Amino acid sequence: MPPDADATLHFRGFVLNLSAGRLQRQGEDVPLRRKAFDLLTVLARRPGRVMPKGELLDAVWPDAIVTEDSLTQAIREIRKALGEAGLATIRTVAGRGYFFDPGMPEASSAGPGGDEMAIVVLPFDDRTVGASDSFALSLCDEIINGLARFRMVPVIARATAAAVAESDRSDPRLLGRTLGASHIVDGHVERRDGTVQVGIRIIDTADGSLVWADRIEAVDPDPLALEDLIARQVISRLVSRVEDAALRLAARKPPADRRAHDLLLQGMAFLRGYGADDNRIAHRVLSEALVLDPLYGLVHSYLALATVILGRYGLSRQTELVTALNLASTGVNLAPEEARTHRILGLVRLYLREHAAAEHHVARSLELNPYDADTIAQMGYLLVLRGRIEEGIAWMDRAVRLNPLHPDWYHFDRSMALYLRGDYAGAADRLLRIPRLGSWGLARLGASQTLAGNLADARETLARMRMLDPGFDPIDYATRGIAFERQMELDHVVTGIREMFKADL
């Protein structure tokens, strides 16, 4: 199996030199035994193609009789050599074989202002009197590792950033050209009088402009948990801004440049929109992405999500839920290390009323990415629907601490938790913070106001609901559309709705 004379493959920060028989990262050799290297070469030269085990055995061990154990051991060795990128690069397709996923193009090939987004996190400046650099460097590593778990954009390794001359760091545009980074994350930390203050910002390297800045303050933190506390809050603040920038970049691309990854980002952007046809457009765009790359796990997962959204979540027909389940399950099989595939499968399982399975997949998502505030909030709501109200509220509290500038659905889900706890005024307050309530939101608001004793407000809310959708039946919606595990929580909600109607007599 002689390699091409001067073939060199680049993927996920690695260089595979076929002629020299070497795997390198950042100029350093990565040890790999001959057969493992040969197997990696076979897979890497056919990216995206599922290769059956028999074909791989024939290619790597053509003159020997070996069992699948040899193949499994070589796969394990490759993944170990690739470190955190191992599972993402060498993917298993159950019952079929393996395929090589090179990831997104190397950041240096695009450069700032190009078609791809890559970020570099610089060590934070520790302004505490007498502080050493160790804390700032350690914090930088934690932030890089946390951002990398979201897998939305490439994050440049700290070792690469550290190799840049100090003079370059003061010029964002020069730093961007040197590292191939479209955005820079930097900041400072200062500890004083029992408090820790952290400043963070994102800079666009194309023109040196400030994209976003924020400030975090922690009062009297546990010194042993200080680094984790800061890293989690910084990551949760950064990730939504970084993802928003990536989605905007994808949306600006002309149709001729739309490939599967770009279509995925566009589909995600439409799913976050509020236009009348946004969800249908998202479904169409994601379907196109699936045709282009049928082995892209996240595309399967987000198409599953679009399917249940169009079906109105828990009100989706059984055929729609089965379609979504097949898509979401395929997403997990193709990308088992991707947290979002498990999160979406958890949602679909919830709509199917498979509560234990739903909790399992959301928990798995959090194992893979413990920094994702939205998934933490989702776990809270799931536990509330299972009747574990206080436990669910505790999870919701964690999500809000990580993401204080959260979307409105955090309020919507918390209102359900507060209602089931018996805090009807609190539930109504949460719903009133949402600018545009649909029929179901208004029904819940009216029920909360009724049980809180605010009958005049409840009558006004009921009138708004009837005007918005005269044929809407909130009791039917609660029964068929909300995945309560126990009858007692459903009865609690239905009681409030019935009392709302009685108050209008």
Per-residue pLDDT reduced to its tens digit, 292-348: 888 888 899 999 999 999 998 889 999 999 999 999 999 998 888 888 899 999 999
Q: Which residue has the higher pLDDT, 7 or 106?
A: 7
The model's confidence at residue 46, banded by pLDDT at 50, 70 and 90, is confident
The model's confidence at residue 4, banded by pLDDT at 50, 70 and 90, is very low
The model's confidence at residue 133, banded by pLDDT at 50, 70 and 90, is low
Q: Is pLDDT at 476 greater than 90 in this prediction?
A: yes
| Tokens linked to 284 | 């169409």
| pLDDT of amino acid 227 | 66
Among 437, 155, 140, residue whose Cα is nearest residue 274: 437
CB contact at 8 A, 189 and 139: yes
User: Which of the listed ranges 3-17, 184-198, 240-254 does the model predict with the highest average pLDDT?
Assistant: 184-198
pLDDT tens per residue across span 79-116: 888 887 788 788 876 666 787 877 654 433 333 344 45
Q: Which residue has the higher pLDDT, 227 or 10?
A: 10
Following DSSP, what letter does each residue of 417-445 receive, concatenated?
HHHHHT-HHHHHHHHHTSSS--HHHHHHH
Instruction: Identify the burial level of 386 via C-beta atoms within 10 angstroms of its C-beta, where 0-12 means exposed, 13-18 middle and 19 or more buried.
Output: buried
Superfamily for domain range 253-370: Tetratricopeptide repeat domain (1.25.40.10)
| pLDDT of amino acid 153 | 63
Q: Taking the C-alpha atoms of 236, 238, 240 and 243 in order, what is their torsion angle to the nearest 10 degrees? A: -130
Residue type, 228: D
C-alpha dihedral sign at 425, 431, 435, 438: negative
CB contact at 8 A, 372 and 366: yes
Mean pLDDT of all residues in 185-200 = 81
| Tokens linked to 354 | 């498979």
Among 9, 100, 2, residue whose Cα is nearest residue 46: 100
pLDDT tens per residue across span 348-367: 999 999 999 999 999 999 88
- Assigned architecture for domain 8-100: Orthogonal Bundle (1.10)
pLDDT above 70 coverage of the chain, percent: 82
Q: Domain map of the chain by residue range?
A: 8-100, 107-235, 253-370, 389-505
Residue type, 132: S
DSSP 51: B
Q: How far apart are CA 377 and CA 400, in angstroms?
A: 8
Following DSSP, what letter does each residue of 175-206 receive, concatenated?
HHHHHT-SEEEEEEEEEETTEEEEEEEEEETT
| Tokens linked to 170 | 């003061």
CB contact at 8 A, 199 and 217: no
| pLDDT of amino acid 108 | 37
| pLDDT of amino acid 427 | 97
Q: Which residue has the higher pLDDT, 354 or 183?
A: 354
| pLDDT of amino acid 391 | 96
- Indicate the pTM of the whole model: 0.61
| pLDDT of amino acid 411 | 94
Cα angle, residue 349 at apex, residues 483 and 99 outer, rounded to 5°: 160
Q: Is pLDDT at 123 greater than 70 in this prediction?
A: yes
Among 422, 418, 421, residue whose Cα is nearest residue 431: 418
* 3-class DSSP state of 277: coil
Give the fold, CATH level 3, of 389-505: 1.25.40
pLDDT tens per residue across span 209-262: 887 787 777 776 665 566 676 777 777 767 766 666 665 555 544 443 347 877
* Residue ranges in 151-277 assigned as alpha helix (H): 158-162, 166-169, 172-179, 226-251, 260-271
| pLDDT of amino acid 48 | 65
Q: Is pLDDT at 495 greater than 90 in this prediction?
A: yes
| pLDDT of amino acid 418 | 97
Mean pLDDT of all residues in 418-431 = 97
Q: Is pLDDT at 282 greater than 50 in this prediction?
A: yes
Mean pLDDT of all residues in 399-419 = 88
Mean pLDDT of all residues in 406-432 = 94
Mean pLDDT of the chain: 82
Q: How far apart are CA 371 and CA 245, in angstroms?
A: 19
pLDDT above 90 coverage of the chain, percent: 36
The model's confidence at residue 134, banded by pLDDT at 50, 70 and 90, is low
Mean pLDDT of all residues in 445-455 = 96
DSSP 336: T
| pLDDT of amino acid 117 | 64
| pLDDT of amino acid 223 | 57
Mean pLDDT of all residues in 14-29 = 83
Q: H or E stretch including 18?
A: none
Q: Decide if 253-370 and 389-505 have a common fold.
A: yes
Sequence-ordered list of residues with C-beta below 8 angstroms from that of 202, at least 6 positions apart, any chain: 119, 183, 184, 185, 210, 211, 212, 213, 238, 241, 242, 245
Q: Is pLDDT at 54 greater than 70 in this prediction?
A: yes
Give the fold, CATH level 3, of 107-235: Rossmann fold (3.40.50)
Q: Is pLDDT at 184 greater than 90 in this prediction?
A: no
